[in-house]
Chain A
Amino acid sequence: MAVRRQGPSPLLALPALIFFGVFAIIPLFVALYLSFTKWSGLGSPTWVGFDNWGTLFSTPDTFRSFGLTLLLMGLSWVFQTPISILLGVFLSGHQRYREIFAVIYFVPLLLSSAAIGIAFRNLLDPNFGLFASPGLEWLNLGWLGNPDLAFYAIVFIISWQFIPFHTLLYQGGARQVPQSLYEAAALDGAGRMAQFFSITLPQLRYTIVTSTTLMLIGALTYFDIIFILTQGGPGDATRILPVDMYLTGFVGNQMGLASTIAIVLVLFGMLVSLTISKLSGFTRMESQLDGE
């Protein structure tokens, strides 16, 4: 007699699979096809073989966009991670007024990217914005219009938007750390700093991996907020690959070339996420908790 299969029927996954197939897999293959064609969005695509790929890898602009994308990934990780860990660990405690701080910190999480973009646009307006007020003029550097500063302004705004989310992850992670570890450390005479570096941080290891993956992959898809703030400008100072893809496809009407950029983004995103999970041992999912 056959072994009776455990758990729910795999057919239950079907609706999700159909949804995923229709809205993710099929468009992906269509984009792959379009990357070998020249198409303005009107009429039928013409097959051009590897022309788009040749164009893409022979223009310096592509490498500049790719470099900016990497820089955005790196900088937003460096900026967001320490702040998110500190806030998350702080909020996982039981201090007085903690809830009030928590509510304040989480506000950006409730706002849509479009709202954040428009709000910062107005805040940073050189004539009518925040820094145009008396006493703050020294900060009025035309943040979004200066090619040397716009990129860093974008990193700050993106971080402002996403730190609350990662704080939430770290708060959850820190709450999972068994209290017994801290008690034992306290008996051994470890201070707060020592406890943070020897217990909290190592215990948050997998949370860091999750958060890092989300941040790095997220950086590959930032589009809305940059589009609203600078449209990739000034010049091409903030034209990261996703913005480049949109402008090429929907403003320049070069759907084939834009699809090529899309495929590059997909491949690179897969590479990044596989590398992180390999390097971190995330796939093995070991636990250091009691009794497991």
Chain B
Amino acid sequence: MSRPSWRATAATALAIGVALGTIGCSSDSTGASGSGVSVWTTSGTESVLMTSQEQHNAEEGSVPLDVQVYENDPYKTKLRTAISAGQGPTVFSGWGGGGLAAYVEAGEVESLQAAFDAAPELRDRIFPSVLAGGTIDGEIYGTPYNGVQPVVIYYNENVFADNGVKVPETWDETMDAVAAFKAEGITPFSIGGAGRWPYLMWIAYLTDRIGGPEVFDAVVAGEEGAWEDPAIVTAASMIQDLVEAGGFGDGFSSVDPNQGAPEALVYTGRAAMQLQGAWGYSSAYLSGDPEFVEDGLGWTTFPSVEGGLGDPSNVTGNLSAFFSVSSKADAETKKAATDWLVNGVFDDDYIDGLIGIGAVPPVSGIEDKIAAAPAADWNTFVYKTAQNAGNFQLSWDQAISPEEAEVLLTNLEKLFLLEITPDEFASNMNAAA
């Protein structure tokens, strides 16, 4: 008889079912209630964190750290899924602002206020403008742990010298420089429009220069009609003026920001300037053309706007990444995690490690260390820009809720493509807020 017995079939099916079930349950065991402190972070600072982990774990009687490093883009979804399934790590990395606020609201994050109050020397050493990114409703929930990354203007010194153009310090000078470079067939500003987020830096800076930080604070606070503030509408129309004047060249909306193309336009002399975060220095310029960085790369702050209310020392950008402690871990693990955040992160070795990889820690009193390290000019500029900033605006997409950020990016892209007017931009954003 060739027909298999139903028992055998059922057994097979059962085995498969059990196997499937097991796969479903066998997610990693680094849950909040594990025996050590699990730390999830995104790539970039891992060498420093690994050293810190080794030192920490070598201490007798310490609760061991377990640092896991993830790629930037999938990390957000992975963390969200893990936390929502109760499988989150003890310590997780985030970018502060609206993203952190969502976790705080959901009751997933432990307050660090008490720990910071017990360690005032650390609390007062971190740049207040940066620590503000990890502060939700007046209470500290996230502590910075890597380099500060303000957005600055990079430029090609040779292109400026060859065409006799002065590096612009005001918006009028910027528009003059745009006209001069346009006439020479050089793209004034290179921008990776295909990624959408590079557009944010323009609207954020212009709004701040025109109306000061209060304008966007009102947006974050969810005030009625905050997006229709005249400063935002003016900033939007200045952006469109710049686009119409050829400020970004042709086809800027197709340029991919993630593979170094916008920076390549600057170091090959086809574009004069780029508005970009401090990360561009090592991730694109230094890796793309180290010789150019030696003798052709210049940098400066965003131009001031005549008659604007904003302090020209204000900057926007990424404050830092922040570590937060899960509220779901047991008390002993939470205590060990907090101890490490307060005593291990930003100890001397940690700061030296960060400077060694070209990051600028947002803590005061390290000018000499930075001046003694490679790329001293650049790192000192970043350090001073961040330290002296009247206001350090967290990138807009991080500061507001993810829902609103998604609408913002779409509308901003339409604004740059001249598909909507500045007023439509403001009213579309108000409708989504």
Contact = CB atoms under 8 A, between A and B. Distances in A.
Interface string A217-246: 000000000000011111110000000000
Given A15-B12, A251-B402, A252-B402, A42 B252 contact: no
Q: Which of A9, A11, A124 has the most CB of B within 10 A?
A: A11
A9 B9 contact: yes
Contacts of A145: 193-194, 251-255
B265 interface: yes
A210 interface: no
Contacts of B17: 18
Given A9-B4, A43-B106, A143-B254, A18 B16 contact: yes
A253 interface: yes
Interface string B256-298: 1001010011000010000000000000000000000000000
18 contacts: A11-B9, A15-B16, A18-B20, A42-B83, A42-B84, A42-B103, A43-B84, A43-B107, A124-B254, A126-B255, A127-B251, A142-B254, A143-B254, A145-B251, A145-B255, A233-B196, A252-B406, A253-B401
B261 A125 contact: yes
Interface string A69-99: 0000000000000000000000000000000
Given A18-B17, A41-B84, 4 more contacts: A14-B9, A126-B254, A235-B419, A254-B403
A80 B77 CA distance: 35
B287 to A, nearest CB: 16
A8 interface: yes
A124 B196 CA distance: 17
B58 interface: no
A247 B406 CA distance: 8
A-B pairs, top 5 by smallest CB distance, nearest first, are: A145-B254, A145-B253, A126-B251, A142-B251, A11-B9
Interface string B159-185: 000000000000000000000000000
B50 interface: no
Contacts of B255: 125-127, 145
A114 to B, nearest CB: 13
A236 B417 CA distance: 11
Contacts of B256: 121-122, 125
Interface of B: 3-4, 6, 9-10, 12-13, 16-17, 20, 77, 80-81, 83-84, 102-103, 106-108, 193-194, 196, 250-256, 259, 261, 264-265, 270, 401-403, 405-407, 410, 413-414, 417, 419
B398 to A, nearest CB: 13
B84 A19 contact: no
Contacts of B419: 147, 235
A40 B6 CA distance: 45
Contacts of B12: 14-15
B134 to A, nearest CB: 18
Contacts of A12: 9
A195 interface: no
A236 B194 CA distance: 12
B417 A253 contact: no
A121 B193 CA distance: 13
A140 B251 contact: yes
Instruction: Tell me whether chain A's interface is mostly helix, strand or loop, or mixed.
Output: loop
A253 B103 contact: no
Nearest to A23: B20
A18 B13 contact: yes
A168 B265 CA distance: 43
B413 A40 contact: no
Contact of A127 (B13, B77, B265, B414): B265
Q: Which of B13, B106, B254 has the most CB of A within 10 A?
A: B254
Contact of A11 (B10, B81, B261, B417): B10
Contacts, number: 122
Contacts of B102: 40, 42, 253
A127 B20 contact: no
Interface string A127-150: 110000000000011111111000
Nearest to B9: A11
B249 to A, nearest CB: 9
A22 interface: yes
Interface in A1-35: 8-9, 11-12, 14-15, 18-19, 22
A121 B256 CA distance: 8
A234 B253 contact: yes
Interface in A243-284: 247-248, 250-254
B308 to A, nearest CB: 29
Given A143-B254, A145-B255, A253-B402, A127 B196 contact: no
Given A22-B20, A235-B414, A128 B9 contact: no
B417 A234 contact: yes
Q: Which of B6, B107, B253 has the most CB of A within 10 A?
A: B253
Contacts of B193: 145, 234
B406 to A, nearest CB: 4
A122 to B, nearest CB: 8
Contacts of B83: 42
B196 A146 contact: no
Contacts of A15: 12-13, 16
Nearest to A254: B403
A124 B255 CA distance: 9
Nearest to A131: B251
Nearest to A230: B194
Nearest to B397: A251
Nearest to A128: B261
Q: Which of B81, B106, B256 has the most CB of A within 10 A?
A: B256
A144 B261 contact: no
Contacts of A236: 410, 414
A126 B80 contact: no
Interface string A101-129: 00000000000000000000110111110
A146 B402 contact: no
A143 B193 CA distance: 13
Contacts of A235: 410, 413-414, 417, 419
Contacts of B253: 142, 145-146, 233-234
Contact of B3 (A8, A125, A140): A8
